Structure 1
Amino acid sequence: MAQDTAEANRSRPDGLPLREADNIDEMYLTFALGSEEYGVNIVGVTEIVGMQRIMSVPDVPNYIKGVINLRGKVIPLMDVRLRFGMPERAYDERTVVIVMDVGEAPIGLIVDGVSEVLEIPPSQVDRHTQFGRAASRPVIAGIGRIGDRVAVLLDTAVLVSESDVSLPAEMAAA
């Protein structure tokens, strides 16, 4: 009974409560990169925070901007624009960090701005194999159709590989 109450009191990243009818596996947090819309499954999303002071870390890929200290937790930050080879853009008041748990590690995804949480049923998702040659582990989980809009749905486990977020031991202990 207590677990049922806890489940009923959980909320989505946008702060709205989950309803019993909500299928969390079909819920995506959508965000903007330039004029394109992307989405990640909300299962791994823990929170959305504004930009903070970033401490740079040497010897990491250029799209790993560094780390932040979020309430005592060191969180590496990935600029998703740079990860996708898009031009770098100055951070502004709309730029946010989507904090996620991917595997056992937290990571922050820097995006141009969040849009909304959408329910996208499997019948509205075109899988990545329909879009050209399939990579061994494609970052695109599918293309979600939402009315006349589309959102590129990302596989966060591929987006954030362990080599991207592994920090030197002395940094992680800081």
Structure 2
Amino acid sequence: MVAYVMIHNLKEIYEGQARQERYETSKALFQCKMSEGSPVGAHVIKMMGYIQTLEKLGFPLNDEFAIDVIMQSLPDSSNQFVLNFNMNEINKTLPQLLGMLRTAESKKKKNGSKSVLMVRVAKRKRKKVAKSKGIGKTKPKGKNALKPIGGISKDGK
């Protein structure tokens, strides 16, 4: 066989496997979500591995898109970092982003997480009371109304 024909045949054989690997890798990359409290370094390195695998398979991601995918995978506690990063239009490489995230994580641990607990008072349902015909419905008015007992003395007590 001629070298060209051999390469063409090998490409046909392994192209299906590469397509399946690309699908699995991209699926793992886009479904990756960092859990709250886990280290950011391991998470970002894992995602960078997926990005490099896609690049080796012939489907490189733009650096800006790769950073967007990583930022979207961060937990809600990192929203302030993401907001600052996007507002300042910071152009960084993936290793530089990893360094920034590690720095932010260490500062967060030093300061302690100041979480706010929001409490909402539940509304109570009133029980429906059977209506009676006029018994106990009237309220005393005028002279028969209850008046406050005691009062305010001049001493202020």
Task: State the structure with bigger RCO (CA 8 A, min sep 6), 1 or 2.
Answer: 1
Q: Identify the structure with the greater strand proportion.
A: 1
Larger Rg: 2
On whether the aligned pair clears a TM of 0.5, the verdict is: no
- TM-score norm. by structure 1 comes to 0.19
Q: Identify the structure with the greater helix proportion.
A: 2
